[in-house]
Structure 1
Amino acid sequence: MALKELFDLHGRIALITGGSRGLGLQIAEGLGEYGATVVLTARKQNELDEAKAHLEGLGVRAYVYASDVSDFASIEPLIQKIHDEVGPIDILVNNAGATWGAPTVEHPAEAWAKVMNVNVNGLFLITQAVLKHCMVPRGKGRIINIASVAGLQGNDPRMAATLAYNTSKGAVVNFTRALAAEFAAQGITVNSICPGYFPTKMTKGTLAYGEKQILEHTPMKRLGTDADLKGLALLLASDASAYMTGQNIAVDGGITSV
């Protein structure tokens, strides 16, 4: 097979949660450019509509469904609806996420639950439904979890404390390993991307508080750009990564190397 054919995603359907903006939309652009039909979910219909128009302007076939990953009862019906209306999902990008900054002794219990429900529990239930309805019956699939460097290390004491977020992303890292081992013999690969600091709506508060410290600690001395995740996402979604599974790959300008 020619190398360019290994990366070809024509005929494949990619579901990207939290795909209406930020890193999710960037990944949708990349997968769509290589031929995937992209399906975006997010909570706000207006943002989904804007993302759909943006992607279609790039020549990408896109569908959108308003959905909240923390509404657990809605998840399996959503996956079944996408299966029936668009087709079976070949690529799942678990990108939806939540964060909360607070000193641990002051961290509200409801905020802890919110972060875990989106970043861990909702991710599990979406993955379970996609496996059951789309991937296991067909003996193939690509699962890409968006973890974080926050799941690979603790926080610089100069930064705001984000214990729930760090804990949830650490769970995603080992979720990736365990799920990959379970489904490796079934034609389904599971890997994660661990972004460093990218300017998004979610990181706005963190960057306002500590961008100077972050850049001082980043060997490349810059934040991530809107092009820095696309290549890796394409690799993990395509046949080019057929022998890769259970990997947690940092895209962080070198933060985790020091």
Structure 2
Amino acid sequence: MSDTGEFDISGKVCIITGGSGVLGSEMATAIGERGATVVLLARGEEKLEAASDSLEEQDIEHMTIPASVLDRAELEAAAETVVDEYGRIDVLINGAGGNHPDATTGEETSFFDLPKDGLEQVMNVNFVGTVLASQAFGEYMVEQGEGCILNISSMTAVTPLTKIPGYSGAKAAVSNFTEWLAVHMAQEYSPDIRVNAIAPGFFLTEQNRYLLINEDTGEYTDRGQSIIDHTPQNRFGDPEDLSTTVCWLLAPGSAFVTGTVIPVDGGFSAFSGV
């Protein structure tokens, strides 16, 4: 699949952190189908290999690099590898993130018993990892005078959800950082370096499935049903629901869009519950 004109992203070199995850893999496929080169960066080599096999089957030009978004040296080495191979970096999608049971309150764990390590892990992978990757790959965009950084925020950054204080706080930080970095890049370096974010609504992922689906029955948990009741489109999002918004934010058609956080949420943020 290819696009022309305002929606053309063919030939762009796009790095996706957390690229072997469910949402990262879907974004990689959508971007690759439109003619871009995809670089997947993640920690688990087994999942990276599986994601690579899928892209290979679709004849999508790609590269995989095992690295942690919390290791600046690994990120800088990855950036050098990409530039050596492809000559430039056009897009960074900061997709690495997720919640963790140790940062989640529940029947067995009260807020007062949440361990420091769990909270730090969630804050680090979502927020600190986004900052470090933006530093390592964003420097090349400054040299080029153009580029696009796309962060992944969340509906919980807008209205904090119960049970997940660490994740809610981390994603709120991502949204704030998106606005800050957009202004900083435009004013200090180039107005052609854009920074935006998407705020997905509720998608079933490996990190949150245990909160939304009862493993024994396959039915929604009370929490899952509550989310559905407050989502006007009456379903969880599918990974491909993000693709068109992502590709638009990377394309020339959104050239005057920067510093924004775009909801992709089935109407959740528009619904008061009444």
Short-chain TM bin: over 0.9
Q: How is 1:128-139 mapped onto 2 (pairs within 5 angstroms)? A: 128-132=135-139, 134-139=140-145
**What is residue 247 of structure 1 aligned with on the other side?**
260
User: How many Å apart are 1:55 and its aligned residue?
Assistant: 1.1
**What is residue 8 of structure 1 aligned with on the other side?**
8
**What is residue 167 of structure 1 aligned with on the other side?**
169
The DSSP-based 3-state class of the residue aligned with 2:74 is helix
The DSSP-based 3-state class of the residue aligned with 1:14 is strand
> Distance between the aligned counterparts of 2:186 and 2:256, measured in 1?
10
Q: How is 1:60-209 mapped onto 2 (pairs within 5 angstroms)? A: 60-100=60-100, 101-102=104-105, 103-132=110-139, 134-155=140-161, 157=162, 161-185=163-187, 186=190, 187-208=192-213, 209=221
> Distance between the aligned counterparts of 1:112 and 1:80, measured in 2?
32
Question: What's the TM-score once normalised by structure 2's chain length?
Answer: 0.88
User: How many Å apart are 1:37 and its aligned residue?
Assistant: 0.2
> Distance between the aligned counterparts of 2:11 and 2:144, measured in 1?
15
> Distance between the aligned counterparts of 2:38 and 2:87, measured in 1?
11
The DSSP-based 3-state class of the residue aligned with 1:24 is helix
Following TM superposition, the consecutive aligned residue runs of length 4 or more in structure 1 with deviations greater than 6 angstroms are none
The DSSP-based 3-state class of the residue aligned with 1:92 is strand
Deviations 1:98-135 (A, max 9, x none): 31322421211001111111111111011011111x20
Aligned residue identity for 2:266: G
Deviates more, 1:240-249 or 1:86-95: 86-95
Paired positions, count: 251
Cα distance change of structure 1 residues 73 and 110 upon mapping to structure 2, 3 Å threshold: farther
Aligned residue identity for 1:191: N
* Aligned 8 A contact 2:72 2:136 in 1: no
> Distance between the aligned counterparts of 2:13 and 2:80, measured in 1?
14
Alignment RMSD, CA only? 1.4
> Distance between the aligned counterparts of 2:96 and 2:87, measured in 1?
21
Deviations 1:6-45 (A, max 9, x none): 2222221000000112111111111111111000011111
> Distance between the aligned counterparts of 2:86 and 2:115, measured in 1?
40
* Aligned 8 A contact 1:197 1:203 in 2: no
Deviations 1:65-84 (A, max 9, x none): 11121234422222222222
User: How many Å apart are 1:64 and its aligned residue?
Assistant: 0.3
Largest Rg, 1 or 2: 2
Deviates more, 1:198-207 or 1:239-248: 198-207
Aligned residue identity for 1:163: P
Q: Which runs of 5+ in 1 are unaligned?
A: none
The DSSP-based 3-state class of the residue aligned with 2:11 is coil
% identical equivalent positions: 37
**What is residue 25 of structure 1 aligned with on the other side?**
25
Aligned match for 1:237, one of 250, 254, 268: 250
* Aligned 8 A contact 1:193 1:249 in 2: yes
> Distance between the aligned counterparts of 1:21 and 1:110, measured in 2?
23
User: How many Å apart are 1:181 and its aligned residue?
Assistant: 1.0
Cα distance change of structure 1 residues 17 and 10 upon mapping to structure 2, 3 Å threshold: same
Deviates more, 1:72-81 or 1:21-30: 72-81
Q: Which runs of 5+ in 2 are unaligned?
A: 214-220
Aligned residue identity for 1:154: P
The DSSP-based 3-state class of the residue aligned with 1:227 is helix
2:257 is aligned with 1:257: no
Aligned residue identity for 2:121: K
